[in-house]
Amino acid sequence: EVEAEAARKAILSGWVTQGPAVASFESAFAARLGAPHACAVSNCTTALHLALKVVGTAAGDVVLTVSHSFIATANAVRYCNADPVFVDIDPQTLNLDPEALERSLTDDFVERDGGLWYRHTTRLALSQESPLRLFDLAKCGRLAAILVVHQVGMPADLARIAAIAHRHGVPLVEDAACAAGSTVSLDGGIKWRALGNPVGAVSCFSFHPRKIITTGEGGMLVCADPEMDQAFRLWRQHGMSVSDSARHAATDVVFEDYVTVGYNYRMSDIQAAVGLAQLGRLDGIVAQRRSIAATYGERLTEAKGIRPPTEPAYARSNWQSYVAMLDDPVLQRPVIRGLMNAGISARRGIMCAHLESPYAAAWPRGVLPFSERARDCGLILPLHHEITEDIAATTADILIDIVRRERG
């Protein structure tokens, strides 16, 4: 009701596209995170594109990231005519493993021309869709950024990852698509900060319907640097020097200039109005999800063949999704089918981009074992606004029974 009324007011205001509601949503979101700047865009994929662009990702570069994420993470790198270099995950958190990151930086890169350069660009170029095929491979492979994903709202180990990025002089970008309402500690649990108040250069959020709060579609770029924020605002509206709302508010004639090549990455006022209403409910939404996640965890902790997710000491998750791990990938399909037959909708684990057609030629199965096992053994249980603690408890009990039968 609140969201519907907010959308109605936005429509009746006469502002349908990017306008005052977008500005209000940006201000409220930045304040919520304790960050200086927030810039609304059309979705998180476009946010990732602009974030990588603003830190200097250019044609022929590479970006270190995980494969174990929605494919938009990897694809955003290619939007910059660069290529992702995948690093394996920590099997406990399902996030970028700091030790694997350090290993890749040490083993797979060489110092040259004041930067780090990837040793294996010829392997990346095996992919027919790799942009590196368009350029001289001898001049390709500069490491432009580290792109860390906070998978399904679980904070990555930012203290260690940020320290590694800083030590190697590489910009850090956070894919916080699922992370609204999560918190992270950088000092062992003494102080907590909103996840997505960037530890690195910039963080990117999604407001897709499967996320904690939604605008239907939408994204947000959060940063501390005013010049970065200004760049985002130019790029999202075709490089136009003056926004529609600023021009309409002017007391004199204002003509816009187009100062750079930009994109149509704008959020509408209708979406932003819904986002503002949703933001006001964020604490309650997260509290409900944490309660349901706790119920799942209590029921599944002692179950044979199932490992429930747990929070590391530095993380407080919003539990955007609840991913339990089966002990055998053979079980995944029959267990999901058994849940389906019981009227329960479950999904397999998070996808691996390196196993999909645009990347598979350069990244054959087996190169990222923990990522692959997380996909093949992962089980995403229902967790949304209609799930109660009683429903979660019943779902867990049914799951335990199905796994017991399938294991024999």
Indicate whether 338 and 242 sit together in one domain. no
Indicate whether 350 and 222 sit together in one domain. no
**What is the structure's pLDDT at 17?**
86
Indicate whether 177 and 259 sit together in one domain. yes
Indicate whether 186 and 302 sit together in one domain. no
Domain boundary among 279, 308, 332: 279
Indicate whether 63 and 75 sit together in one domain. yes
Closest-CA residue to 233 (of 17, 36, 37) = 37
**What is the structure's pLDDT at 251?**
72
Compute the distance between CA of residue 317 and CA of residue 239 in angstroms, rounded to an integer: 37
Q: Please give the order of strands across the beta sheet that includes 347-348.
A: 306-307, 322-326, 378-381, 347-348
pLDDT in tens, 51-77: 999 999 999 999 999 999 999 999 999
Q: Answer yes or no: is pLDDT of 244 > 80.
A: no
Compute the distance between CA of residue 119 and CA of residue 62 in angstroms, rounded to an integer: 11
Kind and range of the H or E run holding 284:
helix 282-300
Q: Answer yes or no: is pLDDT of 271 > 90.
A: yes
Domain boundary among 262, 279, 296: 279
b/e string for 40-72 if b means 16 or more Cβ within 10 A?
bbbbbbbbbbbbbbbbebeebbbbbbbbbbbbb
- CATH code for position 349: 3.90.1150.10
DSSP secondary structure string, 33-64? HT-SEEEEES-HHHHHHHHHHHTT--TT-EEE
**What is the structure's pLDDT at 232?**
98
Indicate whether 248 and 345 sit together in one domain. no
Domain boundary among 253, 279, 305: 279
Domain that holds residue 378: 283-407
Q: What total number of domains does the chain contain? A: 2
The arithmetic mean of pLDDT across residues 204-215, rounded, is: 97
pLDDT in tens, 157-193: 999 999 999 999 999 999 999 999 999 999 988 999 9
- Cβ neighbours of residue 336 closer than 8 Å, sequence gap 6 or more: 346, 347, 348, 379
Indicate whether 229 and 311 sit together in one domain. no
Q: Tell me how crowded residue 78 is: count the other CB atoms within 10 A of its CB.
A: 20
| Look-up of token digits 């509206």 | 237
Indicate whether 249 and 287 sit together in one domain. no
Average pLDDT score over the chain: 96
- CATH code for position 265: 3.40.640.10
Q: Answer yes or no: is pLDDT of 248 > 80.
A: no
Indicate whether 290 and 273 sit together in one domain. no
Q: Answer yes or no: is pLDDT of 18 > 90.
A: no
Indicate whether 233 and 136 sit together in one domain. yes
Indicate whether 44 and 133 sit together in one domain. yes
Q: Answer yes or no: is pLDDT of 241 > 90.
A: no
Give the range among 241-245, 246-250, 359-363 with minimum mean pLDDT: 246-250
Compute the distance between CA of residue 390 and CA of residue 372 in angstroms, rounded to an integer: 32
Indicate whether 242 and 379 sit together in one domain. no
Kind and range of the H or E run holding 84:
strand 83-87
pLDDT in tens, 84-119: 999 999 999 999 999 999 999 999 999 999 999 999
Q: Are 25 and 266 in contact (CB under 8 A)?
A: no
pLDDT in tens, 318-355: 999 999 999 999 999 999 999 999 999 999 999 999 99
